[in-house]
Amino acid sequence: MNLKLQSLFEMQNELDRRIERERGLENEDLVDKKILALQVELGELANETRCFKFWSTKAPSERSVILEEFVDGIHFLLSLGLILPYDVPQQMQVPELVQENLVDAFLKVYEDLTILKNNREDVNNYVTLMEDYLMIGRLLGFTSEEINEAYLSKNEVNHSRQDQGY
């Protein structure tokens, strides 16, 4: 999976600046709130995959629902990259499968978020977080094209929500 990020960062930047301007948040430090938001989105994604629900026989949600939840996390991942004090990567090559299962992959991203929270200055922490988050997408079978299309669609929804006072 090779995800080209430049246009996604640009779209996310436009949405973030709009929200900050309209909510009077231009001078706020939003890093911890965005980290928490990504943790929540990660939990929602895990819930839709049901990968940890060993006690249940219910099937995972539809692929489209899981993809939408995955892309919700991409929004906050990009948003974090835009406000941290370094240049963000413009393209990301997801390495070959490192995590053997979704549970391990989810736990690794939670760990990465804690490391990033405690050390914002090291760009490598952000790159590792992004790679590990995209690894979840790989394990779920999403292509770069699917992620990109779903991001574009959800970005439009997010702008529409702002128009409606969400």
Residue pLDDT, tens place only, 52-62:
999 999 999 99
pLDDT of amino acid 28: 94
Q: Of 82 and 92, which is predicted with more confidence?
A: 82
What is Dmax (Cα atoms) for the chain? Answer: 48
Of 105, 92, 114, 153, whose CA–CA distance to 133 is shortest?
A: 105
| Residues 6+ positions from 77 with CB-CB distance below 8 Å | 38, 129, 130, 133
- How is domain 2-163 classified at the CATH fold level? all-alpha NTP pyrophosphatase fold (1.10.4010)
Residue 105 has pLDDT above 90, yes or no: yes
**Among residues of the chain, what percentage have pLDDT more than 90?**
74
Asked if 134 and 108 count as a contact pair (C-beta separation under 8 A), the reply is: no
pLDDT of amino acid 97: 61
User: Would the pTM count as exceeding 0.75?
Assistant: yes
Q: Where does the pLDDT of residue 89 fall: very low under 50, low under 70, confident under 90, or very high at 90 and above?
A: low
Residue 166 has pLDDT above 80, yes or no: no
| Residues 6+ positions from 126 with CB-CB distance below 8 Å | 80, 81, 84, 86, 88, 116
